[in-house]
Chains A and B, each alone.
Chain A
Amino acid sequence: MVSKRLGWTLHTLLSHYRHHPLQTLFLLTGLITGVALWVAVQVINTHARSSYQQATQLLGAQASHWIRPAGDGGIELEQYIELRRAGFRQLFPVLEQQLTTSDRQPLNLIATDLLALPMDSVGAFNVTANWSELMQPPFQAWYPQSLAETLDLQPGEQLALASGIRLPAAVIQTQAQQGQRVFMDIGAAMTVLGRTRFSYLAVGGLTPVEQAALSSILPAQLQLVANQQSLDLSELTQSLHSNLTAMSLLSFAVGLFIVFNAVRFSLNARSTTLATLQELGVSVRLLSVAIAVETMILSIIGAAAGVTLGYLLGMQLLPAVANSMQNLYGAVIDHHLLLQPLTILKAWGMTLAGLLFALGWPLWQRSQRALASQRSISDDWLQDGKARRMLALGALVLLALALLLYPNMDSVAEGFALLALLLFAAAWLLPVLLAAALAALQSLIPERAWRWRWALNDGWTQLPVLRTALMALLLALTANFGVDTLVGSFRSALENWLDQRIAADIYVNSEKLKVDAVLQSPLIIDHHQRNGVDLRWGLRPAQVYGLDTRAPDSLQLPLAMHNNALAAWYRNEAGVVLANEQVHHMTGIDPGDKITLTTAAGPRKFTVAGFFYDYGNPFYRFYLPYDIVATLWPDAGNRGLALWLERSAQAGGADISSSTSTAIEQKLLQAGAQPGEWVYRDDILQVSIEIFDRTFAITAAMGTLTLMVAGIALLASLLAIHQRRLPEYAHWRAIGVRRREWLLIILLPLAVCVLLTWLLSLPLGTLLAWLLIHDLNVLSFGWTMPMLVQPWPAVRLALLTAVVVATTLIITLLQVRYRLPATLKQLGGDG
């Protein structure tokens, strides 16, 4: 009996969605888009993290250790063969190289000898092409599909590099752990790129006995290091994944606003139905159960579609993320996405929670209310004022919480919690501010401009429905402006910094270069030879560089802070070190503090003289004078030679003449360098900015998506408003209101509200950017930068908003125009 009654109650309730397909669409759109972006990020994050776990694998083979040169320059073929012939068949040679394509795109290469891979791992290889063609001239280069698309490369084409070298014919082919890299046979790569040494040897599955045996026969120049990449990558990328999650949660929140809107409409539309049902004897309890079932059904539909869409979206976004990870952290991320049951369950849980919050609560509240009040039309007006005050009160509570949290914030998660508090506080304050603005405008307009007064007054009717959409818009605009400002600031800081750091005209990194021979050239006016070692400091990999303290770029080192010891550093005194800003921010070390570095002779203390800017570097980095590094780490490797070139007077001192560059390239070749072992300053700058832009491509994509979700919210509200007010419009038309007047009434309050929302998003977005730059970025990555507020993103967002409003308005107007005649007729019939 009860189940039967529940059945028809539910049937009656759900029929609403059948009668109002557009509202159903919006409700689901809100749910689905919100969940989808969250799922997309979740899938990418999970996938990336599982890829880090696989970092003990290389191209499908176990790589628990590496054999690396103690210094630099790579591993000789003879050293490798000697180890193989001593029975260490777990070793296989790897060549990794960052290449630059002829159109200045960064490209990572990985090469190994497939025949040398440990036998049990060969199974991980996916091969449909012919191995012998990979190994035999003219060779092949295997690109994953997404990389080939990025490079606009067709099968069979030969990619041209900046060095003038052409890679072998492209084959679209993907291997385990290839990531966004081009894969070649190591022999082919050595031949084509003119390399003579491997980057390192990967070592798979060593028993402790084998490890001891291997260590004992390893020549002094080589060292066996445990592969700690899984750990390092998880540590290094944590913040980046938190950032992505935060953005996806924001999008989920914006999606919830749509749901709120749709719910309000369905609530209004069904208030009569609910009252009738109660009058027919359906208990509040049964009604609640029915609503719960409805919520459940919607949540399942929303989650299922959201997960599907999110997965597809994830696949679209993954190549961009994988590229960034590769370029920034050297993390290899494959592009086979895995959807875990936990993600699906979480998505459903979120949808359900969001729906319960958005739909269940007000419906239940409504069902508790007195029957009589439910049919009163003025109730909404009354309710709206109350709701605005409640929201404002809530906003103040959130603000208070934010103020409490701010001084004690010391983790990335807390940072994002603070941002969420602020954003929601602002959103909840918006209705009060809009109402105040409407009231103020009304009082400003003279009595005789009655049309304008009427129009503004109509705002009070629109506001209750519009406010949630406007809150969503505020969130989206703020987030976009904030992130645009952040990215813009970063880009400009990076450009300035690169300009200072990459000061020399040409950088040479060559195994065989005879430096003295090059320096004899009269074209070279200055030079900077660097050395360095990689070691671990704290929990992370660290880089120690030896600089020539008198080189032009050393003299202009951009420092964030320093103390008196700096002069001692410039005097090449031992025991004084410069560290990157990351060291200061991530570990709390100040100028004058002492740090300990592990030298060849054991731990040694250094006084920190200052911190230099080192944008985007995930590693700790220390600068010491060249000779000090050479003394303390006798194995320190060559870290490249920077050359400043003579400029001809005619060229105005700006550009290097082509004759100069030809002459210097000739000189380098004579001195033993291979083509491709030097790079010009402009190319480095261009490639760096290219990597930067690719990294933030996903941020831009997510910002745009969030804005789209907000646009949908706006469209949904406008349609809801106009649908509800169609009879009212029919009345107006009947009493002779002209179309122009009607448009004014509809448009003016909307324009005022949207304009105010946009205006409010500017200071709010600036605040967001400020917090992101000064607090979150420091917490996440350990470096700061000057904030740069640019007008262009604000204008762009204004235009985008205008387009969104105009689009929704046109759709709405078309709908009204289409339906007004029918409503008029209805009105006539009623009369």
Chain B
Amino acid sequence: MRWLPLLLLLVAGAATADDVYDVLRRGDSGYAEVVPGKTLVFPADHLAHPTYRIEWWYLTANLTDERGQNWGLHWTLFRQALHADGKTEGWTSNQVWMAHAALTTPAGHRYEERFARGGIGQAGVALEEGRFSAWLDDWQLQGDSAEILPGSLHFSVDGTTVQLELDMQTPWVLQGDRGYSRKSAQGQASYYYSQPHIRVRGFIIEPAGEEITVSGDGWLDREWSSQPLADNQPGWDWFSLHLQDGSALMVYRLRHENKRDGERPNEGQHNHWLSGTWITADGHSRALSADEIELTALEYHRVERANDSALELPLRWSLALPAMGDGYRWTIEAMDPHHWLATAFPYWEGPVVAEGSNPGIGYLELTGYQ
């Protein structure tokens, strides 16, 4: 996997990036800034914002097949600008695209990543014949109209083709303060909105030709920024849960590196940046402040990475929202620990089960672990 650091250089646009996530920490230098008070407008804001450094369209889904087996998927399109100035169209475009797709099957975990330069049509997010389209090569998230949802998702991983219909139940959820999502006390922020209630139906076609009908719940995140991470934030732990009663919960913590002696890396929530949103079944949302969230890593698992090295990752958690009542307490555990993605930006992402009086399923994403 010698090419990994090479691609990183490209994607990160820096010759000396020890930590690939540095791109998320780079200070604004001519890029558009994320400021509070901006009103997000749809469907216009579903499209790309090339003047910001980075942006993503991020879909996760927990699915079951007709035999009741669990499936999971995540599909992401990342956009990055290599320079603040310059063109976005044509051969001299400063835009670079990266896409990840991962599939959790009853048998295991498969993933792929792809890259493309911007400006030539190989990848992009645009209206095509009036329909929203986010694509890289033949991977495509396509809306039925200028809206993303309802729409469809098509991709293939390792010869397995996924073809899904996506339907939206409730309005878009603006995260943070009407879509302005703060990431640190120093002012790092992003524009962030989600759709937590997506009904997913479709087919997964195995390489041998077997067609499996699947259905379940999906979650779409949209986020763009020019500097979402502060210098002392190595990464984040992000949870999205679909609960039994139809409500949904998103919680993330941006880990701070100023840990005390004797602590495990990334442990001790007192100084981490915590944030979340509670969304009711009918789509009403309430932002959760840091003091409303209790998030603790309960158990670490050894997870194999690509190059025969392993990493200890927190894959069992306890999460509570004490201010909301006694029933708001869960133990969250990864369905399968082996969901490391040895991609240019390496991270862990996979389906989780939440146990509690209002149980659920969802996705966990762990980034920035070295």
Whether a CB of chain B sits under 8 angstroms from the CB of A811 is no
Closest A residue to B10 by CB, please name it. A131
Known: A89-B114, A115-B10, A131-B10. A123 touches B120 (CB 8 A): no
Q: Which of B89-97, B221-229, B262-270, B331-339 contacts A (4 or more CB under 8 A)?
A: B89-97
Check if A116 sits within 8 Å of B92, measured CB to CB: no
Residue pair A125, B3 in contact (C-beta under 8 Å): yes
**How long is the Cα–Cα vector from A116 to B118 in the complex, in angstroms?**
11
Measured in the bound complex, the distance between the Cα atoms of B2 and A78 in whole Å is: 32
Q: Is B271 an interface residue (CB 8 A)?
A: no
- Please give, as numbers and ranges, the residues of chain B lying within 8 Å of A84 by CB-CB distance: 122, 137-138
Partner of A116, one of B86, B116, B135: B116
Size category of the binding interface on chain B: 20 to 34
Query: In the complex, are the beta carbons of A122 and B114 less than 8 A apart?
Result: no
**Is there a chain B Cβ closer than 8 Å to A136's Cβ?**
yes
Answer yes or no: B297 CB below 8 A from chain A CBs: no
Is there a chain B Cβ closer than 8 Å to A187's Cβ? Answer: yes
Q: Known contacts being A136-B86, A187-B91, is A81 close to B120, with CB within 8 Å?
A: yes
Q: Which of A89, A115, A119, A125 contacts B96 (CB 8 A)?
A: A115
B304 to chain A, nearest CB (A): 20
List, in ascending order, chain B residues with CB within 8 A of A115's CB. 10, 96, 115-117
Q: A89-B114, A115-B117, A187-B117 are in contact. Are A127 and B9 (CB under 8 A)?
A: yes
A312 to B236, CA, bound (A): 55
Determine whether A190 belongs to the interface, using a CB cutoff of 8 Å to chain B: yes
Give the docked Cα–Cα distance between A190 and B15 (Å). Answer: 25
Known: A87-B156, A130-B15, A191-B91. Contact between A81 and B115, CB under 8 A?
A: no
B110 at the interface (CB under 8 A from A): no
Chain A nearest CB, measured from B2 CB (Å)? 5
Which residues from chain B contact A85 at a C-beta distance below 8 Å? 122, 135, 137-138
Shortest C-beta distance, B221 to chain A (Å), equals 25
A658: which B residues are within 8 A, CB to CB? none
Identify B9's interface contact among A81, A89, A116, A131, CB under 8 A.
A131
CB neighbours of A132 from chain B (8 A): 9-10, 13, 82, 96
**A511 CB to nearest chain B CB (Å):** 16
CA–CA, A539 and B137, complex, Å: 37
Q: Are the CB atoms of A187 and B10 closer together than 8 Å?
A: no
The answer to whether A81 and B121 have CB atoms under 8 Å apart is yes
Q: A86 near B: Cβ within 8 Å?
A: yes
B6 at the interface (CB under 8 A from A): yes
User: Across the interface, do B116 and A190 meet the contact criterion of CB distance under 8 Å?
Assistant: no
Closest Cβ of chain A to B206, distance in Å, is 15
Question: B7 at interface (Cβ–Cβ under 8 A)?
Answer: yes
Q: How far is the CA of A130 from the CA of B156 in the complex (A)?
A: 31
Docked-complex contact B117 and A125, CB < 8 angstroms: no
> Would you give the 0/1 interface string for A65-92, flagging 1 where the beta carbon is closer than 8 Å to chain B?
0000000000001100100111101000
**A113 & B117 in contact (Cβ 8 Å cutoff):** yes
User: A114 to chain B: which residues have CB within 8 Å?
Assistant: 10
Residue of B nearest to A189 (CB): B91
A137 at the A/B interface (Cβ < 8 Å)? yes
Take A130-B9, A187-B92 as given contacts and tell me if A123 and B3 are in contact as well, using a CB distance cutoff of 8 Å: yes
B83 interface residue, CB < 8 Å from A?
yes
Q: Are B122 and A137 in contact (CB under 8 A)?
A: no
The answer to whether B83 and A136 have CB atoms under 8 Å apart is yes
Q: Which of B129-161 contact A (CB under 8 A)?
A: 135, 137-138, 156
**Is A188 an interface position by the 8 A CB rule?**
yes
Distance from B13 Cβ to chain A, minimum over Cβ atoms (Å): 5
Q: Which of A87, A131, A135, A136 is in CB contact (< 8 Å) with B137?
A: A87
Q: Report B-chain residues with C-beta under 8 Å of the C-beta of A131.
A: 6, 9-10
Docked pose: A123 CA to B307 CA in angstroms = 14
CB B7 to nearest CB in A, in angstroms, measures 7
Say how far B365's CB is from chain A's closest CB, in angstroms.
23
Q: Which of A109-128 contact B (CB under 8 A)?
A: 113-116, 119, 122-123, 125, 127
Q: Are B120 and A187 in contact (CB under 8 A)?
A: yes
Q: Report yes or no: B3 in contact with A122, Cβ–Cβ below 8 A.
A: yes
- Taken residue by residue from 170 to 193, chain A's Cβ proximity to chain B (1 for < 8 Å, 0 otherwise) reads as 000000000000000011101100
| Chain B residues near A123 (CB-CB < 8 A) | 1-3
| CB <8 Å contact, B137 and A137 | no
Residue of A nearest to B80 (CB): A132
B6 touches A137 (CB 8 A): no
Task: Report A22-81 residues with CB < 8 Å from chain B CB.
Answer: 77-78, 81
In-complex Cβ contact of A137 among B13, B14, B92, B114 (8 A): B92
Cross-chain contact B120 with A77 (CB below 8 angstroms)? yes
Cross-chain contact B3 with A136 (CB below 8 angstroms): no
Q: Which of B6-34 contact A (CB under 8 A)?
A: 6-7, 9-10, 13-15
Contacts of B117 in A (CB 8 A): 113, 115-116, 135, 187
Task: Provide the bound-state CA to CA distance between A113 and B122, in Å.
Answer: 11
Measured between beta carbons, the chain A residues less than 8 angstroms from B135 are 85
Q: A81-B121, A115-B117, A137-B92 are in contact. Are A87 and B138 (CB under 8 A)?
A: yes
Distance between A309 CB and nearest chain B CB, rounded to angstroms: 34
Q: Give the one of B14, B121, B122, B156 with max A CB within 10 A.
A: B122
- A191 to B92, Cβ gap below 8 A? yes
Contacts A115-B96, A191-B92; is A77 near B121 (CB within 8 Å)? yes
Instruction: Kindly state the separation between the CA atoms of A115 and B99 in the bound complex, as whole angstroms.
Output: 12
CB distance from B363 to the nearest CB of A (A): 25
Interface string of A128-169 (1 = CB under 8 A from B): 011110011100000000000000000000000000000000
- The answer to whether A116 and B6 touch across the interface, beta carbons within 8 angstroms, is no
Give the shortest distance, in Å, between B150 (CB) and chain A (any CB): 22
The residue in chain B whose Cβ has the minimal distance to the Cβ of A191 is B91
Instruction: List the A side residues contacting B83 at CB < 8 Å.
Output: 136
- B122 in contact with A81 (CB, 8 Å): yes
In the complex, 29 of the A-B residue pairs with CB atoms within 8 angstroms, ordered by the A residue number, are A77-B120, A77-B121, A81-B122, A84-B122, A84-B137, A85-B122, A85-B138, A87-B138, A115-B115, A115-B116, A115-B117, A116-B122, A122-B6, A123-B1, A125-B3, A125-B6, A127-B9, A130-B9, A130-B10, A131-B6, A132-B10, A132-B82, A132-B96, A136-B82, A136-B92, A136-B94, A137-B86, A187-B91, A191-B91
A: which residues have CB within 8 A of B? 77-78, 81, 84-87, 89, 113-116, 119, 122-123, 125, 127, 129-132, 135-137, 186-188, 190-191
Known A119-B113, A191-B91; 17 more pairs at CB < 8 Å: A81-B121, A84-B138, A85-B138, A87-B156, A114-B10, A115-B116, A115-B117, A116-B122, A125-B3, A132-B10, A135-B117, A136-B82, A136-B86, A136-B94, A187-B91, A187-B120, A190-B91
